[in-house]
């Protein structure tokens, strides 16, 4: 039996190592960013693409797609992906920082007078919000994040570009702690793998039913809710191991969601493959 003192020693050593690793990450990713852009241009801070997905963050891909649809001028910055709230993505515009992808879209919609969602009724906006919150506040963590960090990190990091072994493991250590706390705060750490998959299937079934055979999630015109949904689904279809359970579940049980993802990729990102090689 492991003694209490041994357990305590292990925690102390682990805590000391974690502090050192997070200190390294802080130096690397919270350093002052020297990149500047012209007034009125968005500087988008996030992680770089992998060999299979334009952004491994559903929230960053959501913003990239929103920028693509609306023509908002932007530049990428990968040197400082973590922002004031220690999360990615975040933006700077006119020297001011803005965080949280939904807040960012709200701010930029007003700043640039974007009309992407103006045709929506109040009921459609409510439905779009419910759909978006379903996967952004719940499903994304138990599918994309959980799979990459806890279930199949080897495959995910094999798709990363020019990342050293030590940086890879520093990221893994750091994000395991972050994700573990997030899952715990949602009560997801108490569920079995079978229960996690059951919850995921229920969420995807709801989204699939709402989409039906429509071209976009709310009808025949794209909206900011499509940007969000594409960011999430693309990170399963293209950003997870084809043999991962979320990918298999999506392809086997919800073909309309896969078709939707492929369709939006072709429409919005015809240069997808070209961008992945840069």
Q: What is the pLDDT of residues 164-211, one digit of tens each?
A: 555 555 565 556 566 556 656 666 667 788 999 999 999 999 999 999
Give span(s): CATH 1.20.1050, the chain.
122-276
Domain with residues 29-111, CATH architecture: 3-Layer(aba) Sandwich (3.40)
The string of pLDDT tens digits covering residues 60-81 is 999 999 999 999 999 999 988 8
**How far is Cα of residue 205 from the mean position of the Cα atoms in its chain?**
20
Give span(s): CATH 3.40.30.10, the chain.
29-111
**Percent of the chain beyond pLDDT 90?**
63
What's the chain's average pLDDT?
85
The string of pLDDT tens digits covering residues 19-41 is 444 444 544 544 554 589 999 99
CATH of 122-276, one of 1.20.120, 1.10.3470, 3.30.360, 1.20.1050: 1.20.1050
Angle between helices 193-211 and 255-268 (to 10 degrees): 60
CA angle, 133 as apex, 129 and 136 as ends, to 5°? 135
User: Which pLDDT belongs to residue 30?
Assistant: 47
């Amino acid at each position: 039996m492991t003694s209490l003192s041994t357990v305590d020693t292990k925690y102390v050593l682990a805590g000391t190592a974690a502090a050192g690793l997070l200190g390294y990450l802080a130096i690397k990713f919270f350093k002052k960013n020297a990149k500047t852009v012209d007034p009125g241009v968005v500087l988008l801070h996030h992680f770089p693409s992998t060999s299979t997905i334009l952004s491994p963050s559903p929230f960053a891909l959501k913003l990239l797609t929103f920028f693509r649809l609306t023509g908002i001028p932007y530049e990428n910055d990968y040197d400082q992906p973590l922002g004031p709230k220690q999360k990615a993505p975040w933006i700077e515009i006119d020297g001011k920082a803005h965080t949280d992808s939904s807040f960012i879209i709200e701010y930029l919609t007003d700043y640039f007078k974007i009309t992407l969602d103006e045709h929506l009724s109040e009921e459609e906006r409510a439905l779009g919000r419910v759909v978006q919150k379903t996967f952004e506040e719940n499903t994304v963590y138990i599918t994309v994040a959980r799979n990459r960090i806890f279930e199949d990190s080897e495959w995910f990091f094999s798709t990363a570009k020019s990342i050293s072994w030590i940086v890879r493991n520093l990221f893994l250590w750091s994000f395991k702690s972050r994700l573990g706390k997030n899952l715990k705060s949602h009560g997801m750490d108490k569920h079995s793998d079978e229960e996690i998959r059951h919850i995921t299937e229920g969420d995807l079934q709801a989204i699939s039913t709402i989409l039906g055979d429509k071209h976009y999630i709310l009808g025949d015109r794209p909206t900011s809710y499509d940007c969000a949904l594409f960011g999430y689904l693309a990170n399963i279809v293209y950003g997870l191991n084809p043999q991962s359970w979320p990918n298999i579940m999506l392809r086997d049980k919800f073909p309309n969601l896969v078709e939707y993802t492929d369709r939006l990729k072709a429409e919005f990102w015809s240069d997808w493959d070209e961008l992945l090689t840069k």
